Chain A
Amino acid sequence: MLSFLARRLIVAIPTLFVVVTVAFFMMRAAPGSPFSSDRKLPPEIEKNIEAKYGMDKPLMVQYVDYVGGVLHGDFGPSLKYRDKSVLDIIAQNYQVSLRIGLAAFVIMVIAGVNLGVIAALRQNGAADITVMSVAIVGICIPSFVTAPLLQLLFGSQLGWLPIGSWGGGAIPNMVMPVIVLATPQIAIISRLTRAGMIEALHSNYVRTARAKGLPEFTIVFKHAIRAAVLPLVSYLGPAFAGLMTGSLVVERIFGLPGLGKFFVNSALQRDYTVVMGMVIFFATLILLLNLLADVLYAVLDPRVRLT
């Protein structure tokens, strides 16, 4: 286990390094600067501003400075929002993405697993066929199609839910974004669970449990489901990270002040430090979640040994 963790960390460090390097030089290769605006600044003033942020130095020096800062936990100030540091901005905006993502995560796991189990127990029956057909449709409808359609139906036609905006995180404002995020995931999870469950129900130990005369409920929820949800664990790590990044579209459509929306705007405005900070933040998040999924997998399944 320890050597596994060590090896994963050895991969994680160059990964983060690649992330920082590529993102840094890509941003700098872009035409324009964070200080160019509609109102043309006198060249002396622009020089002064650049000097203040150390951007008059050669690019390599800036790069070394930046990496040095990051290693000390200093992501620098935002170049557009002068009074805020990058970490402030991430902390502020992340709450929105996190709350929606977590809500969607909980819903998709509960709904997906239950639907999958029901489908597997009634394999090839009406319930199974219904769930699986709906799941196929759910996988194929992208979020940027579901979202406007829901807005059209529940927002403007029926008027049940607000079309957009965050509203301080009020529940009605969260309903549609969460549904849009969770739907395709529910479909995928129910398919995975169904496949795992069918396999588990046909395995020898379930037959043994049946032979012992255990009640069906115990067989399904104590024995079979443990093996059935295993493939799910390795899926859920990346899926959770995907929820965080996937909320880009959802945040945009519903006008939510989350990180995704902020990221695109910052990139457009050449707010170098904010973009870099967010990329590093997401990369770290994805790495940690993947690692967590692997460790969890080994804990749940004693047959898996992490080496």
Chain B
Amino acid sequence: MTQISLAPGSMRNAALLERAVKGRSLWDDARRRLFRNRAAVASMIVLGLLVVCALIGPFVTPYAYDEINKNDVWLGPLTGDHLIGSDSLGRDLLARLFTGLGVSLAIGAVATTVSLVIGVAWGATAGYLGGMVDEVMMRIVDVLYSLPYIFFVIILMVTFGSNFILLFIAIGAVEWLTMARIVRGQTLSLKQKEFIEAARAAGLTRRAIIARHIVPNLLGPVVVYVTLTIPGVILAESFLSFLGLGVQPPMASLGTLISNGAQDMELAPWLLIFPSLTMVVTLMCFNFIGDGLRDAIDPKDR
């Protein structure tokens, strides 16, 4: 907020006030608050750069991520064409890092979308219909919630072999539970809010109420949770890859790179350090953006 002194009769204040009342929507407000959060803005810039690296990087590096160079084994950073070194097979770490980052981000995005679609549909249905349907649907969520899911994912990966699609589904199918709970809770409380009642009293159609009043208010927590789900998914994938159950070689993800790096860390610490750093920076960006969004969308919670 800029400093506005409310001295009566001042022309400047009148002009300012007039501009202020020109109607800022909920989202304008939120955006303004978000862009004032330095950590969040910096994170968005860094994350943007990381996404660009993941998208364009693999085409720019002089080597392909799976290209084996027998003469370039175990090169340290800044030797030859290998900007951040090479691994035991002489594969360029930078190329592998870009590819791995892309894979991790893609898994994060896809699995989060899966969880978003299922979670919002399930939660909104349960919350909106209420009663017996709600009870049954949420009990199902309760049951699934208390499953030791990581064990199921492991069994799944072990039994059916690791393939990409299965990995997406397995992780996404777990993450939707929290989303469903959040959406249901929001829908339930929104249904009883005064402004919804006011809208109903003003004669708005049910569709208009949902579109103009329920969805925008639902969207806030959902967006926040999405930004917190993506790093969770990336972590889950890396976790599986670390156990050797995720992405299979020669394909790379941040998890496999860290896992391989950890095996060779005494000989070639850069193989561990660069992927770890990328992972940590990526996760931190998502966390800062998520925190920033939460503060921006729901300033009460600060």
Chain A, residues 141-171, CB within 8 Å of chain B (1/0): the string is: 1101101110110001000000000000000
From A29, A140, A151, A279, contact of B265 by CB (8 A):
A151
Q: Is the CB of A286 within 8 A of B243?
A: no
From A149, A267, A286, contact of B148 by CB (8 A):
A286
Known: A11-B142, A249-B239, A264-B243. A275 touches B155 (CB 8 A): yes
Contacts of B258 in A (CB 8 A): 144-145, 148
Q: Is the CB of B159 within 8 A of A30?
A: yes
Minimum Cβ distance to chain A for residue B300 (Å):
12
Contacts of B262 in A (CB 8 A): 144, 147-148, 151, 253
In whole angstroms, how far apart are the Cα atoms of A145 and B235 in the complex? 11
Q: Is the CB of B279 within 8 A of A145?
A: yes
Q: Is the CB of A11 within 8 A of B139?
A: yes
Q: Is the CB of A148 within 8 A of B160?
A: no
Minimum Cβ distance to chain B for residue A190 (Å):
15
- Chain B residue, CB-CB nearest to A151: B265
Q: Does any Cβ of B come within 8 Å of A18's Cβ?
A: yes
Q: Is the CB of A140 within 8 A of B158?
A: no
Chain A, residues 84-124, CB within 8 Å of chain B (1/0): the string is: 00000000000000000000000000000000000000000
Main secondary structure of the interface of A (DSSP, over half): helix
Q: Is the CB of B259 within 8 A of A283?
A: no
Q: Is the CB of A15 within 8 A of B143?
A: yes
Q: Does any Cβ of A come within 8 Å of B98's Cβ?
A: no
Contacts of B243 in A (CB 8 A): 248-249, 252, 264
Q: Does any Cβ of A come within 8 Å of B125's Cβ?
A: no
In whole angstroms, how far apart are the Cα atoms of A167 and B269 in the complex? 27
B125-173 contacts to A, CB under 8 A, are 139, 142-144, 146-148, 150-152, 154-156, 158-160
In whole angstroms, how far apart are the Cα atoms of A125 and B53 in the complex? 37
Minimum Cβ distance to chain A for residue B287 (Å):
6
Q: Does any Cβ of A come within 8 Å of B14's Cβ?
A: no
Binds B, one of A20-28, A33-41, A173-181, A217-225: A20-28
From A12, A245, A249, contact of B151 by CB (8 A):
A245
Q: How large is the interface on B (under 10, 10 to 19, 20 to 34, 35 or more residues)?
A: 35 or more
Q: Does any Cβ of B come within 8 Å of A278's Cβ?
A: yes
Q: Is the CB of B239 within 8 A of A27?
A: no
From A22, A148, A290, contact of B152 by CB (8 A):
A22
For the A-B complex, the count of residue pairs with Cβ-Cβ distances under 8 Å equals 117
From B159, B231, B242, contact of A27 by CB (8 A):
B159
- Chain A residue, CB-CB nearest to B234: A142
In whole angstroms, how far apart are the Cα atoms of A267 and B156 in the complex? 10
Known: A144-B238, A144-B259, A253-B262. A245 touches B143 (CB 8 A): no
Chain B, residues 205-245, CB within 8 Å of chain A (1/0): the string is: 00000000000000000000000000100010011001101
Q: Is the CB of A279 within 8 A of B238?
A: no
Q: Is the CB of B276 within 8 A of A145?
A: yes
Contacts of A140 in B (CB 8 A): 231, 280, 283-284, 287
Q: Does any Cβ of B come within 8 Å of A19's Cβ?
A: yes
Q: Is the CB of A283 within 8 A of B266?
A: no
Contacts of A304 in B (CB 8 A): none
Q: Is the CB of B155 within 8 A of A27?
A: yes
From B139, B148, B159, B266, contact of A26 by CB (8 A):
B159
Contacts of B199 in A (CB 8 A): none
In whole angstroms, how far apart are the Cα atoms of A264 and B156 in the complex? 11
- Chain B residue, CB-CB nearest to A148: B262
In whole angstroms, how far apart are the Cα atoms of A152 and B151 in the complex? 29
Q: Is the CB of A144 within 8 A of B242?
A: yes
Q: Which of A19, A148, A278, A286 has the most CB of B within 10 A?
A: A148
Q: Does any Cβ of A come within 8 Å of B123's Cβ?
A: no
Q: Does any Cβ of A come within 8 Å of B272's Cβ?
A: yes
In whole angstroms, how far apart are the Cα atoms of A275 and B147 in the complex? 14
In whole angstroms, how far apart are the Cα atoms of A283 and B147 in the complex? 6
Minimum Cβ distance to chain A for residue B56 (Å):
25
Contacts of A141 in B (CB 8 A): 276, 280, 283
Q: Is the CB of B272 within 8 A of A148?
A: yes
12 additional A-B pairs beyond A144-B239, A151-B265, A267-B155, beta carbons within 8 Å, are A11-B139, A15-B143, A22-B152, A27-B159, A29-B160, A31-B159, A142-B235, A145-B280, A156-B266, A248-B239, A282-B148, A283-B146
Would you list 21 pairs from A and B whose C-beta atoms are within 8 A, ordered by A residue? Answer: A11-B143, A15-B142, A15-B147, A18-B143, A19-B148, A29-B160, A30-B159, A139-B287, A141-B276, A142-B279, A144-B238, A144-B262, A145-B258, A148-B265, A245-B150, A249-B243, A264-B158, A264-B243, A267-B155, A267-B158, A286-B146
List the 6 shortest-distance A-B pairs measured between CB atoms, nearest first: A30-B159, A148-B262, A282-B148, A140-B283, A267-B158, A145-B276
